[in-house]
Amino acid sequence: MTANCGGGHITKGCAQSPQSSATVSVADKRKRDACSTLQTGKRDACPTFEEVLEQTVYFNPFEPIEISERNLPHWRQPGVTYFVTFRLADALPREKLELVKAEREAWLKSHREPYSEDDRREYFRLFSERVQDWLDAGEGSCLLRDERAAETVASALRHFDGQRYDLGAWVVMPNHVHASVRPRAGWELQQILHSWMSFTAHEINKRLGRTGPVWQHETHDHIVRNPASLWRIEQYIAENPRKAGINTRFVFSRLP
């Protein structure tokens, strides 16, 4: 049995560091990066966020869903937009991850589909908000606090934007990354995530002169359900650094 959280998945970041880069406003970042890629030039036009809301394909409960599960459920539908989070391998201690996994399994056994709105809120509070707070405490090495590593990730996110996928809001935090992304025809979300994580792991290790795993293998992702959900996700991503007390220029949002 699986549960669709309906809100954000596991999120937030580390405490501020003197090594963090200077703050650049979301508006300034949007002016520089909106509707562009690193290698392929600019798109023909930059849609307003209202146009994005209208054009986005959302979760359809009446269409088939492909579901896979490891420690977390992963729902797939063609053409939809996803909110994804991937975090550094040491961002959370193993004992906390195992605790959340055990409690989540117990919750799923005691709740039956279809889930009510109260169920969804409870699920989010127990298994998303709590982990968000843990990540805010700044566990782990926080490799992405180093601007060389953060730039590597930001460049990878934007590299195939407009070719393999359409990238929405994104942010690189000290120990995790958030993004909204819609795979284009012929590309699966898992291919895109693997490409991002494999390339950046190699480059980060090379740039920082280190070895070993960079990312936790499993990502957190869910299908954006409706326009209100997309708005909340974009707002959350844009405000994530400020709320976590982080100064970063590696953030982009399409919000007006």
Structure tokens, 124: 């989010």
How confident is the model at residue 8, as a pLDDT?
33
Q: Which two tokens stand for residue 195?
A: 């490409």
Report domain 26-61+77-92+141-252's class.
alpha beta
For residue 45, the tally of other CB atoms under 10 A from its CB is 8
Q: What are phi and psi of 235, to 5 degrees?
A: -65, -45
Following DSSP, what letter does each residue of 10-50 receive, concatenated?
S---PPP-TTSPPP--HHHHHHHHTTB-SSS-B-S----HH
pTM for the whole thing?
0.73
> What's the pLDDT score for residue 63?
62
pLDDT per position in the chain (256 positions), as tens? 333 333 333 233 343 333 333 333 333 344 344 454 333 333 445 666 666 766 776 665 656 566 555 656 566 677 889 999 998 999 987 788 788 888 888 988 898 877 787 887 787 778 777 776 776 666 789 999 999 999 999 999 999 999 999 999 999 999 999 999 999 999 999 999 999 999 999 999 999 999 999 998 888 888 888 888 888 889 989 998 998 888 899 999 888 7
| Both structure tokens of 255 | 């919000």
What pLDDT score does 65 carry? 64
Residues 6+ apart with CB under 8 A from 110: none
pLDDT at site 121? 76
Q: Among 6, 52, 16, 7, which Cα is nearest to 174's?
A: 16
- Residue whose entry in the numeric block shows the structure tokens 């002016």: 31
Measured from the Cβ of residue 235, the count of other Cβ atoms closer than 10 Å reads 13
Task: Give the chain's end-to-end CA distance (angstroms, integer).
Answer: 39
User: Which residues, 6+ apart, have CB-to-CB distance to 208 below 8 Å?
Assistant: 143, 146, 148, 149
Q: Are 77 and 63 in contact, with CB atoms under 8 Å apart? A: yes
Domain residue spans in the chain? 26-61+77-92+141-252
Measured between alpha carbons, how far is 145 from 248 in angstroms, rounded to an integer? Answer: 9
Query: What pLDDT shows up at residue 225?
Result: 82
Going from the C-alpha of 183 to that of each of 58, 77, 234, the distances in angstroms are 13, 10, 17
Tell me what pLDDT residue 172 has: 96
What per-residue confidence (pLDDT) applies to 7?
Answer: 33
